[in-house]
Amino acid sequence: MKNTINQAFHSPKFVFGFVIFAIMLCLAILVPAFSKADPLAMQAAACYRPGTYFSIADAIEAKKYNLKMDIKSHRFDKTLTQEDKDSMVEWLVKFGNVEESEIPADAEEFVVFWINNYKDIKIKGLTNAKKQYYRKLTAKLSAMLKTSDIVIAGEDPDTGELIEENKIEFNSFTNVNDVTVRKTFLLGTDNFGRDEFIELCHAVGTSLKMGLLAGTIATIIGLILGLLSGYLGGIVDDIIVFITNLFTVIPSFVLIILISFSVDQSARGVLLVGIIIGATSWTWTTRSVRSQVISLRNRDHVNMSKLSGHSLIRIVFEDILPYIASYVVMAFILQISSAILAEAQLSMLGLGPATTKVATLGLMMNWAMSAQTPLAGQWWAFLPVIVSIALVAFSLNLMNTGLDQVFNPQLRD
Amino acid sequence: MVVTNTTERKPCLSGRGVTKVFGFGNQKTVAVDHVDFDFREGDIISIVGESGSGKTTISKMILGLIGVTEGEIFFQGQPRDIKTHRKKQEYWKGIQAIFQDPFATYNMFKKIDEVLLDCINMRGGKNLPKEEKERLMTEACSFVNLKYAELTNKYPFELSGGQMQRLMIARIFLLKPKILLADEPTSMIDACSRATILDMLLKLRDEINMTIVFITHDIGLAYYVSDTIYIMEHGKFVEVGKADDVILNPQAPYTKRLISDVPKIHEEWDLSTV
Ligand SMILES: Nc1ncnc2c1ncn2[C@@H]1O[C@H](COP(=O)(O)OP(=O)(O)OP(=O)(O)O)[C@@H](O)[C@H]1O
Ligand SMILES: [Mg+2]
């Protein structure tokens, strides 16, 4: 046993898979342990970008600094991309009756030139989206040209007059650390305004737990039926093969859908979904365990065990099980990963666990899809989830193939 | 073709019309075809035949490890009854085997001590003190020229083929069964130790009146050890008789061929007939 584990860690595939899996597991365990907050608490409005958010009111009140810096050209350098510039030049040449040579090279002059020449007119051959783009760009650029100070005024309750309360100079700065109230969303927020990162870590944990449950159930059922069917043979074998075939002919996913559909949505917890998936996906384990046992039961080492007077149970546990143990472990790992995938598929169809209690990877996908985040380009709402699902399944499969190399008796020296 | 041996010893194992058919339809193989036999107590019987003639199949049927398609086997004069696992366990107390392939015979996950301890337990030595058990195991190992101290804590796959076969014989030494079916028990042991080990088996026979069914394709070896020889060809016994009669005065053409194929050291080899 110890030897096998040692060998496993000499297989690069296994180690690679294990490292990925361990990282995912650490995130799923440590993050929920350190942030006690409810992962499903809504903290913002829908779908904010990843980043640090800080209070503007605080920033206004914070200590001001003056930096010697050409703010305007800095703004242009930061925001005006080459792509923007190219499309602006294209517009000017095509629709603005301007020679390309007339366009100034300096960023600030270029923007001024653009604002002077750009007209929001009806032009044939320009899509609506493109028109919208130019309109937005122009608004942004003209705001950036402003260099006046910003005055914050309050209204006099008697006269209705505006009274200056605070003035922010054009070139005043504040240190980010001086702004005390802020919040970092590592992966932004989802469509309900929940912290995507925290939610994701909880979801990975929940999905793994569900996968473990489903995998255990499937492996235990599959192992017991496979052993009985393979070792006893005869009528027991016939009955078990019949049931197994019945389950195989109906694709297990259809079965999962039907069962999930018949269970009331509010009653459908993660536990129940795990049980449903586990109870429908054992056929594969049964079949392979059965065929392995059949090929083992007439081997001479089993015969010798019989001649040594061992009982049937002892033969199964000592002479059959150790020989298929590696195989069962591998089947177990695969069952976990396919259960996680099955839950994701099920939730995408809206047949997953109840939506209000916990987050699972599948549910997060479902939420991201129903809020049409991919269309809006809000990648943070779905991409990390997809990557997490892929990483978990990938690492489990890698460990599986790594173990394959280890358990192969040919490699054992 | 019942042996008409006039000795007063009664047969401990007989078969009438014993047949084994593998597969069905087009895939059908008749491995053993209606054979009769009478193995007498204390005899050494050899079954000689070329590869694929059904030697292993008949021994597995005798052991009750595979079913008999047709015919009946008699044990101690009674029709054999091994319908349940319990009854088989009882049957196996008196009949043991050495299998053909030593590499397939051992459970890779069990240490060698366990294999030998199983034998002691089976002989009712479960409650013996530890020292006594170790003494028995050491004795059994030295019987087959193995050193027990070198074997403890080893796994079977750490042994050579010949060592595994010796361990198998050590097992028989501990078990002392009434009947032993030995399927090419010395195929991987060097000629020198082979003679010693065969002599040991013969000694064991004399000590406990063990019946040995010796399966081999080496007719010379069969002549050396056995009282009775069964020549097997394509699942049938083509010649049966006392060793001297069969070897010195063969009747069946197949037997004659087997005998003439034995290479003789002092003759020059005629490669043209190979
Ligand atoms: N489990 C099986 N299924 C189908 N056919 C079998 C099976 N076992 C043996 N046979 C067939 O039965 C025939 C006899 O096989 P058996 O193993 O008894 O030969 P053998 O005399 O022991 O040969 P060898 O000297 O090579 O060990 C062979 O033709 C073999 O193909
Ligand atoms: Mg054989």
- In this predicted structure, what is the pLDDT of residue B181? 93
State in Å: Cα B232 to ligand 1 middle: 13
Predicted local confidence at residue B274, as pLDDT: 43
Q: Which of A401-405, B28-32, B224-228 has the lowest mean pLDDT?
A: A401-405
Interchain contact A307–B (C-beta under 8 A):
yes
The shortest C-alpha distance from A310 to chain B (Å) reads: 8
Q: Are A211 and A361 in contact (CB under 8 A)?
A: no
Task: Decide which of B120 and A120 is more confident.
Answer: B120
The answer to whether the CB of B51 is under 6 A from ligand 1 is yes
Answer whether B110 sits within 8 Å of A304, measured CB to CB.
no
CB contact under 8 A, A303 and B99: yes
Does the Cβ of B156 fall within 6 Å of ligand 1? no
Residues of chain A with C-beta less than 8 angstroms from the C-beta of B106:
301, 304
**Nearest CA, atom 31, ligand 1:** B52
Q: Which residue from A346, A380, A322, A377 is spatially nearest to A273, judged by alpha carbons?
A: A346
The pLDDT-based confidence of B10 (bands split at 50, 70, 90) is confident
Does residue B69 line the site of ligand 1, with CB under 6 A?
Answer: no
Residues of chain A with pLDDT under 50: 412-413
Note whether A298 contacts B66, CB cutoff 8 Å: yes
Probe residue for ligand 1, chosen from B21, B24, B26, B56 as the CB with the greatest number of ligand atoms within 8 Å: B56
Please tell me the predicted confidence (pLDDT) of residue A1.
61
pLDDT tens per residue across span B175-195: 889 899 999 888 878 877 788
Residue B3 has pLDDT above 50, yes or no: no
Residue B98, pLDDT score: 92
Q: What residue owns the CA closest to ligand 1's atom 28?
A: B52
Q: Would you put residue B23 in left (φ > 0), alpha (ψ -120 to 50) or beta?
A: left
The tokens for B5 are 């041996």
CB contact under 8 Å between B97 and A308, yes or no, is: no
Q: Does B88 contact A305 at a Cβ distance shorter than 8 Å? A: no
Ligand 1 atom nearest to B100, measured from its CA: 27
Residues of chain A in contact with residue B97, where contact means CB-CB under 8 angstroms, are 303-304, 307
Structure-token pair, residue A220: 């235990």
Measured from the CB, is residue B54 less than 6 Å from ligand 1?
yes
Separation of B176 CA from ligand 2 center, angstroms? 23
Dump the DSSP string for A59-123: HHHSPPEE----HHHHHHHHH--HHHHHHHHHHHHHHS---GGGS--SHHHHHHHHHHH------
Q: Give the domain ranges of chain A.
A: 2-36+193-411, 66-173
* ipTM score of complex: 0.88
What CA–CA distance (Å, rounded) separates A263 from A271?
Answer: 13
Distance from CA of A3 to the nearest CA of B (A): 12
The DSSP 8-state label assigned to residue A37 in this structure reads S
The pLDDT value given to residue A410? 54
What pLDDT score was predicted for residue B267?
Answer: 57
Please report which ligand is nearest the Cα atom of B33.
1
pLDDT digits (tens, 9 = 90+) for B32-91: 999 999 999 888 999 999 888 999 999 999 999 998 999 999 998 889 888 888 899 889
The finding on whether B31 has its CB within 6 A of some atom of ligand 1 is yes
Answer yes or no: is the C-beta of B22 below 6 A from any ligand 1 atom: yes
For residue B130, give Cα distances in angstroms to A181, B77, B121, B126, B138.
Answer: 75, 39, 12, 10, 12
Helix axes A71-79, A128-145, angle to 10 degrees: 160
Span B210-217, average pLDDT: 90
Q: For residue B35, what pLDDT is reported?
A: 93
Give residue A119's pLDDT: 79
8 A C-beta contact, residue B45 and residue B9: no
- CA–CA distances in Å: residue B237 to residues A28, B58, B85, B92, B231: 71, 11, 31, 26, 6
Chain A nearest CA to B102, separation (Å): 9
CB-based contact A307 B118, cutoff 8 Å:
no
What residues pair up with B79 in beta bridges, in sequence order?
B74
- pLDDT (mean) for B245-253: 85
Nearest-Cα residue of chain A relative to residue B95: A307
Q: How far apart are CA B220 and CA B258, in angstroms?
A: 10
**Overall fold of domain A2-36+193-411:** MetI-like fold (1.10.3720)
The domains found in chain B, sorted by start residue, are 2-262 (3.40.50.300)
Residue of B18, B53, B238 with the most ligand 1 atoms within 8 Å of its CB, for mutation = B53
State the pLDDT at residue B272: 53
Could you tell me the pTM of the whole model? 0.78
